[in-house]
Chain A
């Protein structure tokens, strides 16, 4: 028998979305993220435009910082403390470390404050929050590219004019190294930003934590300069593999092993996943506590 057809019956109801109080930890909407890819581009453009506006020297400023820092390191760590550089020219050695360290530290500092600095936008309109930290690590690449150009110039000088370094094929790993650093900064930054929406204590920890972390990372010294009993500590740091690989590729010296890079990749992948899950959980209600 057929169902009686009454006028009050609704046509079959479609729902495109459900806004719930509880959602599973891993419900990350990647299609939605993809839909918002233009927003990511616009945010990059915004950062790019506002960066040049009303400065005379513009991107020149990005050269000043790594050059000055490298010179100070040459004097301080090279001449006074006489730290080993694996026999490499000191300027090239320090500049290599500073260039990639800057990218990592900037990305981490900015992503870890992403909720607090964007609270006014987040409080008014919804878009996948993940876009914001993503835009930070991408727009950091602009500054990195400029500083990296400077570094390449130095590498070319020492390779062809001084003939004191020999770059090798590991330079081809550069894109991977950048992705790894971006992912690490993103993962760690998202964990910190999620945890600081309610309790701000961690943001204090982070500001000096980053400074201390630089010394736990082979930025101003090579791994080989570490005493044997502390080697494990340096090797447990996911950044070590990245830094050693970078210097090994461009400068041709150092104690780099592919296994340390694999270790870095795995650790960073785990951290990034944790970061995304926590971030995804916090983003839905952080407006109430920030």
Chain B
């Protein structure tokens, strides 16, 4: 068996909510008094799990609680979890930006962490100078940077601008340069947090490729946090699922993704998130139907069946060119389908304050491959400014039906199902 790269033992991290004020100093004094007498910190016994939506009674929350895991050398580990599950906290502890409240990490090898690209970039300095500065901040020696300088510039693709102050760079060039420096760190363990959410598609691909090289080719250990399940699927061989500060699953990547989607399912009820912007209108009722039957927030739809969304809303302010959009995404967060009111030539050019409107949207013959999907709903003006957004309006599973006559299952990794006609002809 391989050596371990990281071993986490009972890692917990407690945060205090609310503002630092006069109440804080009394807690600090109390803590100090306990410590002086050799007692345990009294505030470690309290605190609640980190659930944003639930109203808590304590000022202390556990952002992470009793996390244990082992990571072998050469593993590429995806850390998955919903927002606020503790992913970033875990990375912060590992990168030594802040220390755990209890527990310890044992680490074998140098850790380089990329919680952000371009930390410490100075706008007045040229690209060349910033490569050296940023490299030094990340822990590289000057000689090491000099050795890799050409490689870094080459990877970033900003050679022409290398002696120009970075304040003249476009944001894309800036990010490219920053990532290039970080990607050439010589460390045994690399920690990456969502930095890939930047840059254009071509550069993202390049970054993913580089990370793939790092973990597979060079045998270094990579810890990777992302909401992009596709990226995790491609890159990682292990997964850690965090939920409300607890590590709920540690194991193989595909099992972890399955586990994660199950959490999605179980939490779907409280997962319908409404985001009214500036209170311009209020959705009073929104329901989904299929084949004349009302659907639950988590439900099944037959392949080839229809889906109707009925929405009623009250208008609080005059709105011109009210527009609607539906996004259907799969569980890895990939957009499968984008539907708008324009598709059917349906327009609401003006709605007035006080109006109560109801509309229904029907999606005909759902021909997505049997799999799990969810729907986000969006309202805005002229397809630009957001007025109302609902995340995870519906979490549905498409089930194979008599829409197809095949007896075996449609492969779940196929994307769409296209109905076909078969004929013999002479």
Chain A contact residues, CB within 8 Å of chain B: 7-11, 13-21, 35-36, 38-39, 41-43, 45-46, 49-50, 53-54, 120-127, 198-199, 284-285, 287-289
CB within 8 Å of A: which B1-38 residues = 1-4, 15-16, 20, 24-25, 28
Contact of B96 among A19, A42, A43, A198 (CB under 8 A): A19
Q: List 7 A-B contacts (CB under 8 A).
A: A10-B2, A19-B99, A49-B129, A122-B97, A284-B96, A284-B99, A287-B98
Smallest CB separation, A279 vs chain B (Å): 14
In the complex formed, the residue of A with least CB distance to B117 is: A124
In the complex formed, the residue of B with least CB distance to A7 is: B1
Contact A10-B1, Cβ < 8 Å, known A39-B137, A42-B132, A42-B136: yes
CA distance A22 to B132 in the complex (A): 34
In the complex formed, the residue of A with least CB distance to B8 is: A19
Q: 11 extra interchain contacts, Cβ-Cβ under 8 A, other than A16-B107, A42-B132, A49-B122? A: A8-B1, A10-B4, A16-B109, A19-B99, A35-B139, A39-B139, A46-B125, A49-B124, A121-B119, A125-B119, A126-B95
CA distance A273 to B30 in the complex (A): 27
B141-184 to A contact mask, C-beta < 8 Å, 1/0: 11000000000000000000000000000000000000000000
In the complex formed, the residue of B with least CB distance to A120 is: B119
Contact of B24 among A35, A38, A46, A198 (CB under 8 A): A198
Contact A125-B103, Cβ < 8 Å, known A11-B1, A198-B20: no
CA distance A84 to B139 in the complex (A): 53
> A21 touching B119 by the CB < 8 A rule?
no
Instruction: Specify which chain A residues have a CB less than 8 angstroms from the CB of B2 in the assembled complex.
Output: 10
**Chain A interface main SS type:** loop
Smallest CB separation, B338 vs chain A (Å): 34
Instruction: Specify which chain A residues have a CB less than 8 angstroms from the CB of B80 in the assembled complex.
Output: none
Whether, in the assembled complex, B357 has its beta carbon less than 8 Å from a beta carbon of chain A, the answer is no
CA distance A21 to B113 in the complex (A): 19
Contact of B99 among A21, A36, A123 (CB under 8 A): A21
> A14 touching B3 by the CB < 8 A rule?
yes
B266-277 to A contact mask, C-beta < 8 Å, 1/0: 000000000000
Contact of B106 among A9, A15, A39 (CB under 8 A): A15
CA distance A15 to B97 in the complex (A): 20
> B105 touching A124 by the CB < 8 A rule?
no
Instruction: Specify which chain B residues have a CB less than 8 angstroms from the CB of A49 in the assembled complex.
Output: 122, 124-125, 129
> A21 touching B98 by the CB < 8 A rule?
no
Contact of A16 among B108, B132, B142 (CB under 8 A): B108
Contact of A124 among B94, B111, B119 (CB under 8 A): B119
Contact of A46 among B25, B92, B110, B133 (CB under 8 A): B133
Smallest CB separation, B117 vs chain A (Å): 9
CA distance A160 to B124 in the complex (A): 44
Smallest CB separation, A28 vs chain B (Å): 15
Whether, in the assembled complex, B296 has its beta carbon less than 8 Å from a beta carbon of chain A, the answer is no
CA distance A199 to B25 in the complex (A): 9
Smallest CB separation, A7 vs chain B (Å): 7
Smallest CB separation, A130 vs chain B (Å): 14
> B101 touching A21 by the CB < 8 A rule?
yes
Smallest CB separation, A112 vs chain B (Å): 19
Contact A288-B15, Cβ < 8 Å, known A14-B3, A198-B24: yes
Contact of B97 among A7, A14, A126 (CB under 8 A): A126
In the complex formed, the residue of A with least CB distance to B24 is: A198
Instruction: Specify which chain A residues have a CB less than 8 angstroms from the CB of B106 in the assembled complex.
Output: 15, 17-18
In the complex formed, the residue of A with least CB distance to B100 is: A21
In the complex formed, the residue of A with least CB distance to B103 is: A21
Contact A124-B116, Cβ < 8 Å, known A7-B1, A42-B136, A284-B98: yes
Smallest CB separation, A269 vs chain B (Å): 27
CA distance A16 to B119 in the complex (A): 26
